[in-house]
Amino acid sequence: MVVRCAKQSDGKANHREELEMGIKLLGAGKVEKSKRSIWRSSIKLWIIRVITSVLLWTSVIQLIALGEMWGPKLLKGWPDCPDVTPAVEKSNAPAEFVPPPKRIYKNNGYLMVSCNGGLNQMRAAICDMVTIARHLNVTLIVPELDKTSFWSDRSVFQDIFDVDHFITSLRDDVRILKELPPRLKKRVELGMFYSLPPISWSNILYYENQILPLVQKYKVVHLNRTDARLANNGLPSEIQKLRCQVNFNALRFTSLIELLGRRIVRILREKGPFLVLHLRYEMDMLAFSGCTHGCNLVEEEELRKMRYAIPWWKEKVINSEMKRHDGLCPLTPEETALVLTALGIDENVQIYIAAGEIYGGERRMASLLSAFPNLVRKETLLEPSELRYIQDHSSQMAALDYLVSLESDIFVPTYDGNMAKVVEGHRRFLGFKKTILLDRKLLVGLIDKYTHGSLSWDDFSSIVKEAHANRMGSPRQRVVIPGKPKEEDYFYANPEECLQLLDEPLRSS
Ligand SMILES: *[C@@H]1O[C@H](CO)[C@@H](O)[C@H](O)[C@H]1NC(C)=O
Ligand SMILES: *[C@@H]1O[C@H](CO)[C@@H](O)[C@H](O)[C@H]1NC(C)=O
């Protein structure tokens, strides 16, 4: 089990800084093993696991603090950041996995789900669907993934996730089957089931009161849309914790993806610290959002055509500059170069670009490359033969980027899409690892002032630093706005209920 931990020091008027380190904890799994049979619920087991890890971690942090080992400094002009990678990390024998006992319950029926969207939207949806199935005491059929979305990846669940681990690690919560039993399959083939898109941002009571009776009546219910179908807030903590358990424990990528991910991280680590830049400057993003700042006329036309060609992208007439000034556009590569430099990111740091093809190619990447010469991506770190099996599968390639993003010293997304949010939340879970959450609305205004000469570099840089001092993925409360779920913080970006243990007093340590 890889556990990452970060601790807050109070930098007073200055910046709140995080202490980061990566250590492999091998003991934790064994400590609990003898207790395992006592705990019937995996939630309990999981909480114990977290507490154990936290306890061990506290001691590790203290030991490290004593050791006074100072790691590489990535952010210039910021307080020193101790960064230690102890030797334990080198032994990476996988922790032995003992499956929990099956939960015995009266099955109320079968739930089929078809996820929609890209990898990370589906990831969050899978967590929600498991949680709903658990709560309704139904049997979940392994979720079907979206093959018709923009990315048109033919991958099925088991091409991306370790399906057996998914099923067994959750079996003390809910029964999950790879497919319907033959008798029910017949019924479904005959159309004897109920299909519907559940209402977005619903409370669990909606599923109890509206969906459960349908399951009982039809035996098989198919939820044919899954994005954001469970509320961010106002849910019992065991529901929130189960969402996390699925996200952080049960969903594991296939061994091929894990292997490639570890290989990339090893190559990067050998050369020192690295930053992952989720540069969401890809054609689909720009066509969809209508953000054309920095594009030439031919490109603008190409993006516009693509937007009009895709029927489910509803917004067609878009004022790019207005949208950009509202902070609704991904930063361009040029803007990103300025911002990273202004933040004081070391120009020699390795920057791993977690993205598909950058729109405009080399021309648009030139300024970023000249500011940060050590730009790498999976295609430059691995041999083509290593990527052969996954390169035509956008979701599997995205999964690889996800793994590298989790491991990085700093994660910077240039847009707040699903990948940015889910990775942000996962990094919080791994010990509030540094994620720089760019304030794009503020930044584009400052960038324009700087490039028009009405703001000096030094002022630009210090305002940018100041504005982001508290946007580093440190602990904070999730924003709750009753009645406006779209404007709230996304549960998966800050799964607070699963992080609180880190703040609680540790009496026994
Ligand atoms: C689910 O099963 C548990 C017992 O395992 C029971 O307490 C609960 O009421 C059941 N819920 C539903 C919705 O059937
Ligand atoms: C979901 O099912 C409903 C009811 O059968 C149908 O009207 C709707 O088009 C389906 N949606 C999708 C995305 O398949």
Instruction: Note down pLDDT in tens along the chain; length 509 residues.
Output: 333 333 333 333 333 333 232 222 223 333 333 333 434 455 555 555 655 555 555 554 454 444 333 334 566 555 444 343 433 344 455 567 788 999 999 999 999 999 999 999 999 999 999 999 999 999 999 999 998 777 778 999 999 999 999 999 999 999 999 999 999 999 999 999 999 999 999 999 999 999 999 999 999 999 999 999 999 999 999 999 999 999 999 999 999 999 999 999 999 999 999 999 999 999 999 999 999 999 999 999 999 999 999 998 999 999 999 999 999 999 999 999 999 999 999 999 999 999 999 999 999 999 999 999 999 999 999 999 999 999 999 999 999 999 999 999 999 999 999 999 999 999 999 999 999 999 999 999 999 999 999 999 999 999 999 999 999 999 999 999 999 999 999 999 999 999 965 455 444 33
Spell out which residues line ligand 2, taking CB within 6 angstroms.
195-197, 224-225
**Residue 219 Cα, ligand 1 centroid: separation in angstroms?**
17
Which atom of ligand 1 lies closest to the CA of 106?
2
The contacts of residue 362 (CB under 8 Å, 6+ apart) are: none
**Residue 239 Cα, ligand 1 centroid: separation in angstroms?**
14
Given a contact cutoff of 8 angstroms between Cβ atoms, the answer to whether 375 and 351 are in contact is yes
With the most atoms of ligand 1 within 8 angstroms of its CB, the residue from 137, 206, 212, 238 to mutate is 137
Ligand that lies nearest to the alpha carbon of residue 174, given by its number in the listed order: 1
Q: Please give the structure tokens belonging to residue 20.
A: 């980061």
Cα distance between residue 68 and residue 301, in whole Å: 57
Given a contact cutoff of 8 angstroms between Cβ atoms, the answer to whether 139 and 112 are in contact is no
pLDDT of residue 509: 34
Cα distance between residue 90 and residue 24, in whole Å: 8
Name the nearest CA neighbour of 116 among 95, 94, 143: 143
Which atom of ligand 1 lies closest to the CA of 103?
5
**Residue 223 Cα, ligand 2 centroid: separation in angstroms?**
9
Q: What angle do CA 379, 250, 47 make, to 5 degrees?
A: 125
Residue with tokens 């358990």: 245
The contacts of residue 21 (CB under 8 Å, 6+ apart) are: 4, 5, 6, 64, 71, 82, 83, 84, 85, 86
Name the nearest CA neighbour of 273 among 436, 92, 434, 416: 434
pLDDT of residue 95: 63
Closest residue by Cα to atom 7, ligand 1, is: 105
Ligand that lies nearest to the alpha carbon of residue 109, given by its number in the listed order: 1
The single-letter DSSP state of residue 462 is: H
**Residue 135 Cα, ligand 1 centroid: separation in angstroms?**
8
**Residue 137 Cα, ligand 1 centroid: separation in angstroms?**
6
pLDDT of residue 150: 72
Which atom of ligand 2 lies closest to the CA of 225?
13
136 Cβ below 6 A of ligand 1: yes
Sheet hosting strand 194-196, strand order edge to edge: 176-177, 139-141, 110-113, 220-223, 194-196
Cα distance between residue 342 and residue 329, in whole Å: 19
pLDDT of residue 186: 94
Closest residue by Cα to atom 8, ligand 2, is: 196
With the most atoms of ligand 2 within 8 angstroms of its CB, the residue from 115, 188, 195, 221 to mutate is 195
Quick check: helix, strand or coil at residue 127? helix
pLDDT of residue 72: 42
Which atom of ligand 2 lies closest to the CA of 197?
1
Closest residue by Cα to atom 1, ligand 2, is: 196
Cα distance between residue 420 and residue 412, in whole Å: 8
Cα distance between residue 90 and residue 78, in whole Å: 29
The pTM of the full predicted model, rounded to 2 decimals, is 0.82
pLDDT of residue 86: 39
